[in-house]
Amino acid sequence: MVIKPFANQVPFDFTLEENVRKQKEAIEYVRKQLGKEYPNIVGGKEVFTERKTKSINPANHEELIGTFQKAGQKEAEDAMQAALKAFETWKYTSPEERAAYLFKAAEVVRQRRFEINAWMILEAGKNFAEADADTCEAIDFLELYGREALRYGQDQPLTPYPGEMNKYFYIPLGVGICIPPWNFPFAIMVGITSAAIVTGNTAILKPSSETPMMAWLFQDIMHKVGLPAGVLNYFVASGAEAGDYLVDHPKTRFISFTGSMEVGLRIIERSAKTNPGQIWIKRVVAEMGGKDTIVVDSEANVDDAVAGVLTSAFGFQGQKCSACSRAVVDEKVYDEFVQKLKAGVEKIKQGMPEENYQMGPVISASAEKSILNYIEIGKKEGKLLHGGNKLDRPGFFIEPTIIIDVDPMARISQEEIFGPVLAVIKARDFDNALEIANNTIYGLTGAVYSMNREKLNRATREFHVGNLYLNRKCTGAIVDVHPFGGFNMSGTDSKAGSRDYLALFLQGKSVAEKI
């Protein structure tokens, strides 16, 4: 197998009218398919349940994307048995064969890229560029993890020892539960699932109830490239019922989760308990929340800082775990920054994702309610600079909202909001700014704008986040360029998109033979 060196997929340029036209045509093609019902796929077989999950367009909640199943404990046990059965043969499949499925899938995703983008635009409310970046990242995960599986599949180098022949190699763990989020509904879902299966494990993929269509597309692609039945089981289910059952199951070997801190900690707690029949310690790979800060130093280029903050705070409506939710600004440039920030946010246009507006809706009615509640809290904790309102139109649209003069320990400065809400905090100096930047329970992403090299060096040492960016936005991590994962309550720092990542789904075995 001749494999070219890994290279990132280049996003489409949507300033080109040809790409805009193709994307709009794909949206029309997808719209003609809306409203269908999709089964779960367990052990290669279609499974329907009495209860259903409805996926709707967050920009128009009267538009049904599709009807999906809502499985319970009985179906969860069936999925576990199918995954266990498939593991008995899949674990012995060569790394080359497993990687080949990922490479084939990456090629299919490339061919269907506009279509996949279109489903995401309608189901998740992303604009064209945000959706395409998501799809590109999925391709990158497939390509990188396929190559890395080949590397991990080799015998690992050891120090020679007289009189012995020694080998050290990696073997898979077993059945894993993959629980992706809705905010990167294709990329993260593809990443955590492909990492699990390419290393020889079998997976039960439980997608978010907000974006089950994106996971359906992936399982359909994997089926069409010939992945054996039971290796990947598509399982839309009740989290409280089937999700807990699978996390607790004695045959579950690992859980790969991306989502909120509250749910992640609950999974970690439940996984730590040994259930009857369990013979291993469950492994949890968790990427959780963030309360991400951009520091604007007195020696920053203020115009660049404003642009970076606006993009980081309001890209995809602030619904990225990496989104900037706090700008900590040196008092020497605070007034200038706020003035330019207000002028910048007023230029943001909001509307239907299918019309490629810069900002669209938040994901759901419950998210909308939570965000609006935080905005009311914020109005009491600071001064409303812009926004704060729900738009009077179908869908879950909230204006980009900025609250200034916020105390560093205020609730909107400490709690993850996961929406288009930015708190602006005044710092006395750079020391104070770093102190504030580190004052939350999270540690995912952050950025510093400064022209002072010593300050940037200090931030590199002292700003305690898994992904730090200097003089650029704090969103937009690229596979194998910015390995992604955070500290503290932001997760296990599993570093998705890194050369280390596949080790989380493997265990090392040493074999020594006397000569």
Q: What torsion, rounded to 10 degrees, do the Cα atoms 7, 259, 217, 108 define?
A: 10
| Residue 300 identity | A
CA dist 85 and 128 (Å) reads 41
Cα 298 to Cα 310: distance, rounded to the nearest angstrom:
19
Q: Are 437 and 461 in contact (CB under 8 A)?
A: no
Dihedral sign computed on CA atoms, order 390, 395, 401, 406: positive
CB 433 within 8 A of CB 330: yes
Nearest to 375 by CA among 410, 408, 346, 323: 410
Cα–Cα distance, 181 to 39 (Å, whole number): 20
| Catalytic center residues | 287, 321
DSSP-based three-state secondary structure for 228? coil
- Tell me the CA distances in angstroms from 228 to 30, 108, 260, one per residue in order: 28, 17, 32
Helix (H, G, I), strand (E, B) or coil at 368: helix
The CA distance from 74 to 238, in Å, is 12
Q: What is the DSSP string of 99-128?
A: HHHHHHHHHHHHHTHHHHHHHHHHHH---H
Q: At what angle do helices 17-31 and 128-152 cross, to 10 degrees?
A: 90
